[in-house]
Amino acid sequence: MDKIFLSDLEIDTVIGIWEWERRITQRVSIDLEMATDARRASTGDSVNETLNYRDVAKRLIAFVGESEFELVESLAEAVARIIVVDFGVSWTKVSVAKPAAIEGSRTVGVVIERTTEDYPS
């Protein structure tokens, strides 16, 4: 399986369970791995033959920036659904990190993997 990846996509959003967190934006960092078959794209050397990671990033920046989840788990699930359903990806691995959420820790977060079987039409 070939994979397209996107690392450390930083987006400011409302996220958290505490009342003070609901009044501010905080930065989250998203890492993605997305299944693809790179052979057609590499043979034709055309962006039209591949998953356009710029389109993925733009979609996530808009979605996450407007979202107001309490949990990083919920945000990760929503991101995975967009990747699989909206972009037709058969498998994705999504990591969502919330830097500085815990004093003494650089970051905390969640990693999930989803497939088309997780989102039946």
Q: Which two tokens stand for residue 25?
A: 């934006």
Q: Is 98 marked active-site?
A: yes
Torsion region of 88: left, alpha or beta (phi above 0 gives left; psi -120 to 50 gives alpha): left
Angle (CA) 111 41 64, round 5°: 35
Active-site residue among 3, 58, 93, 98?
A: 98
Q: How far is CA 107 from the centre of its chain?
A: 16
Catalytic residues: 98
